[in-house]
Amino acid sequence: MGANEKLTALNPVGFAPKVTRKALAPRLDTLEGKTVYLVDCRFDDSDVFLKQMQAWFGTHMPGVRTVFKPISSVYLNDDPTTWEEIKAKAHAAILGVGH
């Protein structure tokens, strides 16, 4: 490289996306008689963990109905259809995001 040549460098820092806060859903007094969706976000073995959790509910809280629900794509893509189903049919949801 000659003394008069210019070198271009890029800044690797990047910019974080803007995050909009949302309030948490209110807690239920009990899960007894309720439906809880176990949502597999398809991130590193979350399905394995959620199926173990589903078995735990079956043994320890048989009055709770669980639904194992994988999202339609990968965790990077939104899944409005699944979220609408959960709003319509579930009392609560647990999202599995891996280990």
Give the distance, in angstroms, between the CA of residue 92 and the centroid of all CA atoms in the same chain: 13
How does pLDDT run across 14-47, given as a tens digit for each residue? 888 898 999 988 899 999 999 999 999 988 888 9
Q: Name the pTM for this structure.
A: 0.75
Q: Is the pLDDT of residue 98 over 70?
A: no
> Among candidates 49, 42, 50, 89, which has minimal Cα distance to 68?
50
**∠ Cα 35 20 89 (to 5°):** 15
Query: Which residue's entry shows tokens 């669980």?
Result: 66
- β-strand partners of 69: 39
Tokens found for residue 75: 């965790």
Q: What ranges do the domains of the chain cover? A: 35-96
